[in-house]
Structure 1
Amino acid sequence: MLIERFFNKIKQCRRVATRYDKLAANYLAFVKLASIRIWLRANESAP
């Protein structure tokens, strides 16, 4: 369930969902950046 929620949040990023990047390394880098952004938002609201 946790993994499914993560992928749903990742797919909110248009660039990840449509895969604009041709190279796998560039795509993976953007997935990592999107993951960090999601993680920071989740920890930002924590007390």
Structure 2
Amino acid sequence: VVEGGHRLDGRIRPAGNKNAALPCLAATVLAGGPVTLDNVPRIRDVLTFL
């Protein structure tokens, strides 16, 4: 839960696994600008999401 009305900005480096990839992909929908994700595994779940 994010509270406070402050703009969020920064970088995270999750491990390249499917458990981290899908939530990160879903979070990009909420971003107000361009998002670059690196080290995303090429698995069926990720390809289906895209």
TM over 0.5: no
TM-score (norm 1): 0.31
Which structure carries more helix by proportion?
1
Q: Which has the higher contact order (CA 8 A, sep 6+)?
A: 2
TM-score (norm 2): 0.30
Larger Rg over CA atoms: 2
